[in-house]
Amino acid sequence: MNFKGGYNILPQGRPASAVNRVPEPKQLYLPLHSRRFLFSDICVEDGQTVSDGDVLARDPDNYAVPLLAPRGGKVKLKSAEGYITLTDILPPAGKVHVPEKDLPHIVQEMGSAGMKRYKLLSLGAWQFFYDAYTGQLPDPLGTPQAVIVSTLSLEPFVARGDAQLKNRLLQFTRGLEHLQSLLEYQPIYLALPDAKSELATLVREHIRGYAWVRLVEIPIKYPYDNFNILARKLGIKKGDGPIWSVRTEGILATDRVLTVSKPCLVRIVSIGGSGVKIPVHLKVMTGYPVREIIDRYASSSGVRIVDGGMLTGEAVAKDSLGLDTECRGLTILPEYKEREFLGFTRPGWGRESYSGCFLSSLRKGFSERLTTAVRGEIRPCVSCNFCEEVCPAGIMPHLLHKYLYRDLIEEVEQARIDLCIECGLCSFVCPSKIELRAEFIRAKELIEKEKEEIRREQAKRQLQENSR
């Protein structure tokens, strides 16, 4: 498969593949929102005692995806706004409960595949699934046109496939079999690194004989593990139905739910970045106190905590209490807020940039000590073209930026902003540190909102005409 753009980022602070356990928490703070979900239907009462695996809340706009209690304990609804707090934490009991008597009509009609899909949703595995083009949660009872499974996480520093797969290859291949049993004839594409890595060789050996899995070799270069890019490269068309997309952790969760009928209550989260004392992977539950993790792993207090990877993560709010249900990693980066006069002209060893204008570019193949890199300096576009060089979507970020600066929305659409996969590479390489990705996300939302309004207006007019 041919890809264009992309960038190999070698930053310091990459977590080792070993997975550590965290001490049992005294309290858990379960956020009622995450990137895709808003758990607004609360299913428990203040003071109620719950067991692990019980449903605490649901997201009514996302197929009632549940927020599960990772441990038993006492529910506090008012002690922290935006969270369900669990106190008096109990040791894990491994309770399993999938109510079969009130199954929705459609689940019953779908037979065993319907029951399996319902279990994935009820026991917390379905939230690992995405639609390749929209990034949203697909309908668990819908029919996908294809499935993409990626074993790679190329964005620094989110939890990596090899850390997830350590000693769990059997569960992974079994998970793939379960996935196939949910489908009729739709293909499963399995994305593997094209290098002869140990992981790739092992996975290839384990799935030998699975004729229904089509291997896709992808370069180890960010962001070619992105489902949207993979779907485009595979020629799977947008608009011909959803494309289920899932990473290693989702396949392991599928296996857990469908083999042993146990809920998915813990996930592997990476703690990486050059502001970390010892970069690690942690096996941790939703709601685990963020403060405890920071105190244990951050090397100083002058750091920025990012929820997610270095390029697409979002800064964690200062008052954030617990890990949310979709967290794949925390990135901790030193942050220098002081403005450096003409800082970009200083050649220093310790500075790295895509432009190669610092002395550090003479040292090849070393790990870069990345910071938030702003240093109080945001400058205008200097037309260096770096953003266009790295953009995997083949669009011109600098041009979009200039159009947006002048509010030329029609031109922005003609320049194909819709192709942007929000990978953040343009912002990363930009020597002027322009927040291109954030600009494009805002612009896409605005365009979508305007289109929605036009659609609604047209539907209203049509209705009026019909009733005449």
Of residues 381 through 410, those in contact with ligand SF4 by CB under 6 A are: 381-387, 390-393, 395, 397-398, 401
Nearer to ligand SF4, 282 or 443 (CB): 443
Q: Judged by CB under 6 A, does residue 424 bind ligand SF4?
A: yes
Q: Judged by CB under 6 A, does residue 146 bind ligand SF4?
A: no
Q: Judged by CB under 6 A, does residue 276 bind ligand SF4?
A: no
Query: Number of residues in contact with ligand SF4, rule: CB under 6 A?
Result: 30
User: Least distance from C-beta 232 to ligand SF4, angstroms?
Assistant: 11
Residues 129, 243: contact at Cβ < 8 Å?
Answer: no
Q: Judged by CB under 6 A, does residue 62 bind ligand SF4?
A: no
| CA end-to-end span of the chain | 55
What string marks each residue from 9 to 28 as x (binds ligand SF4 by CB under 6 A) or -? --------------------
CA distance 244 to 380: 40
Q: Judged by CB under 6 A, does residue 412 bind ligand SF4?
A: no
58: amino acid identity, one letter = R
Residues 308, 286: contact at Cβ < 8 Å?
Answer: no
The residues, ordered by sequence, that sit 6+ positions from 158 with a Cβ below 8 Å of its Cβ are 270, 308, 309, 328, 329
Nearer to ligand SF4, 4 or 283 (CB): 4
User: Least distance from C-beta 284 to ligand SF4, angstroms?
Assistant: 29
CA distance 306 to 213: 35
Nearer to ligand SF4, 367 or 383 (CB): 383
CA distance 386 to 7: 11
CA distance 417 to 134: 14
Please identify which residue in 55, 155, 440, 443 interacts with ligand SF4, judged by CB under 6 A: 440
Polymer length of the chain: 468
Q: Judged by CB under 6 A, does residue 232 bind ligand SF4?
A: no
CB burial of 261-272 (b: ≥16 within 10 Å; e: otherwise) equals eebbbbbbbbbb
Q: Judged by CB under 6 A, does residue 316 bind ligand SF4?
A: no
Nearer to ligand SF4, 251 or 423 (CB): 423
Residues 388, 398: contact at Cβ < 8 Å?
Answer: yes
**What backbone torsions phi and psi does residue 244 show, to the nearest 5 degrees?**
-65, 135
Long-range pairs of 352-355 with CB within 8 A, sequence gap ≥ 24: 353/429, 353/431, 354/7, 354/386, 354/390, 354/428, 354/429, 354/431, 355/384, 355/386, 355/429, 355/431
Only one of the segments 19-27, 53-61, 205-213, 417-425 lies at the binding site for ligand SF4 (rule: CB under 6 A); that segment is 417-425
Neighbours of 375 (CB within 10 A): 17
Tokens of 127: 């939230």
Q: Judged by CB under 6 A, does residue 414 bind ligand SF4?
A: no
Please identify which residue in 56, 192, 370, 421 interacts with ligand SF4, judged by CB under 6 A: 421
Please identify which residue in 137, 163, 420, 443 interacts with ligand SF4, judged by CB under 6 A: 420
Of residues 352 through 381, those in contact with ligand SF4 by CB under 6 A are: 381
User: Least distance from C-beta 204 to ligand SF4, angstroms?
Assistant: 30
User: Least distance from C-beta 68 to ligand SF4, angstroms?
Assistant: 33
Nearer to ligand SF4, 226 or 286 (CB): 226
User: Least distance from C-beta 403 to ligand SF4, angstroms?
Assistant: 12
Helix (H, G, I), strand (E, B) or coil at 26: coil
Nearer to ligand SF4, 198 or 407 (CB): 407
Q: Judged by CB under 6 A, does residue 154 bind ligand SF4?
A: no
Only one of the segments 34-42, 358-366, 436-444, 450-458 lies at the binding site for ligand SF4 (rule: CB under 6 A); that segment is 436-444
List the one residue out of 271, 326, 270 whose CA is nearest residue 124: 326
Residues near ligand SF4, by CB under 6 A: 381-387, 390-393, 395, 397-398, 401, 420-426, 429-432, 434, 436-437, 440
